[in-house]
Structure 1
Amino acid sequence: MSSRPRAESAAMHRVVREGAILAGGARAILLQIAVPGVGRGVHEHSDFAYRPVDRLRTTLTYVYCMTYGTDEEVRTVTRLVNRVHGKVRGPGYRAIDPELQLWVAATLYDTATLLHERLFGPLDEETADRVYQEYAVLGTALQVPPELWPADRAAFRAYWDDMVATTEVTDDARAVAHDLLHPSVAPWWVRLSMPLLRFLTAGMLPPRLRAEFGLTWDRRRQRRYDALFAVAARIYPKLPPALREAPKEHYLRQMRRLIARGREPISAA
């Protein structure tokens, strides 16, 4: 089955199709868990230390399905995500809380567009507006009412800046971050990539939250970070599209294979 973009996400696929956005996965997760309700839920109901690859697959399956899936695939994956989220609750938090889901979707949008801009430069205003509006589906497909998604990019930036300025990293969040960035059990290729992932994640985080997570940063690291992206921006866009889109194709094939076999492509929390 072709992985053409869904008609309602034709602009969004310009960002989502790039495998480079996987480099921002840990950044998005750390931003998500910085909000206490998310951090507490993940700390009590998830296991990043033992299933980092499963957690990555679940998130990417959802994002790719919302962008490229058929209507039936979208219904299947949405139902599974809602079922998983329904079990994640406790004193002071519920995974199906629309405000928490809005923040999770916001981190996925902000991280993906940040990386896309670093590698390709800014999108033109019209395309950027369409990408932003289409990204709302990551929240509205679940419990986020359409009117809760900020009306435009300026409204989103105000919402984002307020969240980054006011949220405080808790001990729960720091514990999850440690498990995520220092997995005790993981495939060899994950362990091999962790030093680079930790470096990129620290560099992409807002400075205050980076400090609250206890991630070391200084001018020397900033220079290395800027130099790395300068090189990547020259090389990555010239790679063959088939190579850049390989992660998307892999996870879509895996999702469709599991659905065809009657298995669930979304892991439990």
Structure 2
Amino acid sequence: MTAEAIDPPPSHAASRRTELDEQTVPDLDMIGLALLGGPANVIMQLAVPAVGYGVFESKVDSGNLFKVPIKRTRTTLAYLAVAAMGSAEDRRRYRQAVNRAHTRVRSDADSPVKYNAFDPKLQLWVAACLYRGWEDSQRFFGDPSRITEEAYRQGAVMGTTLQMAPEMWPATRADFQKYWTETVEGLEIDDTIRDYLLRIVRMDFMPRPVALAMGWFSETMTIGFLPEEFRDKMGIHPSPMQDRVFQAHNAIARRALRVLPRPLKQFPFNLLLADVRWRMRTGRPLV
């Protein structure tokens, strides 16, 4: 199957996706320190059972965090860089590369839930979590005044860089909040996915010395960034020490970000976008 064959046929939705691909998204500049909230965002994404089991049962070993942690982390962050900061061509080609990997991510007869990585409703949820993560980064580290209707509309690229139809993105920030609240209220995280997520939070995918050294800090940051409703569903809450560490970390980070130049605020996403473009030029795999 060729890359072009994976792309959807021309349609109004495809035309709108092209419009989104072609616009720059300056208001969604990433803040590198927000990477510490990555595991919290993963919990939110995988709390939807079809997403959780899609990742947990995935047969795509080249994208398995526990088998190739560095590669998986790179490709995930590169997707964010392309979606938020890339050109139309960057997004088109990365979409094709992700699509090729996603063709194998689908449930079988033994799966406890049905899922398909091309399901646009699941992609909408993942995009919603990524956008919510950006909003949280502004509240914790950045400037909450940047959370505008225009920035929200631009957030649709988090889904349209995959196969989510632009029309699926809730029309306004208020509509988004309604969708978010209703979805979260109906979520339940079973023991299988909960245990898998806790292994990610504690960095069990890394060599044991790294996990022992950094696991507690990763857990502290994850719980701190995780919205209360997801803490309840996971059954994890910060200890007094973890809460003090989290608050102290954020206070230092906010001061540092006031004086950092923009390229450092965008790091490592700007570096990852450069890597994606280098891979395109040299014919190397993107994912």
Do Structure 1 and Structure 2 share a fold, with TM-score over 0.5?
yes
Query: Pick from 31, 36, 39: which aligns with 2:52?
Result: 39
When residues 253 and 71 of structure 1 are mapped into structure 2, their CA distance, relative to the original with a 3 A threshold, is same
1:109 corresponds in structure 2 to 131
Q: What does the per-residue CA deviation read over 1:96-124, in whole Å, with 9 as the maximum and x for residues that have no partner?
A: 11111001001111012101221123125
Point out 4+ residue stretches in structure 1 off by more than 4 angstroms.
187-190
Structure-2 separation of matches of 1:114 and 1:208: 15
1:50 corresponds in structure 2 to 67
Q: TM-score, normalised by structure 2?
A: 0.80
Q: What does the per-residue CA deviation read over 1:188-230, in whole Å, with 9 as the maximum and x for residues that have no partner?
A: 9964443222111111212232233242424554344333323
Q: What does the per-residue CA deviation read over 1:1-55, in whole Å, with 9 as the maximum and x for residues that have no partner?
A: xxxxx86233334x32x21221221111110110000011111016322333222
Identity across matched positions, percent:
33
Alignment of structure 1 residues 114-193 onto 2, 5 Å: 114-124=136-146, 128-186=148-206, 191=211, 192-193=213-214
Structure-2 separation of matches of 1:133 and 1:36: 27
The number of residue pairs the alignment matches comes to: 257
Query: Pick from 17, 23, 36: which aligns with 1:8?
Result: 23
Structure-2 separation of matches of 1:173 and 1:228: 29
Question: Residue 176 of structure 1 aligns to a residue in which SS?
Answer: helix
> Is the CA contact (8 Å cut-off) linking 2:46 and 2:52 kept in structure 1?
yes
Query: Pick from 52, 60, 78: which aligns with 2:77?
Result: 60
When residues 222 and 90 of structure 1 are mapped into structure 2, their CA distance, relative to the original with a 3 A threshold, is same
1:98 corresponds in structure 2 to 120
Amino acid at match of 2:163: Q
Alignment of structure 1 residues 21-32 onto 2, 5 Å: 21-32=34-45
Name structure 1 gaps, 5 residues minimum.
1-5
Question: Which structure is richer in relative contact order (CA contacts within 8 A, separation 6 or more)?
Answer: 1
Name structure 2 gaps, 5 residues minimum.
1-20, 109-113
Alignment of structure 1 residues 77-92 onto 2, 5 Å: 77-91=94-108, 92=114
Amino acid at match of 1:78: R
Amino acid at match of 1:101: Q
Structure-1 separation of matches of 2:22 and 2:106: 35
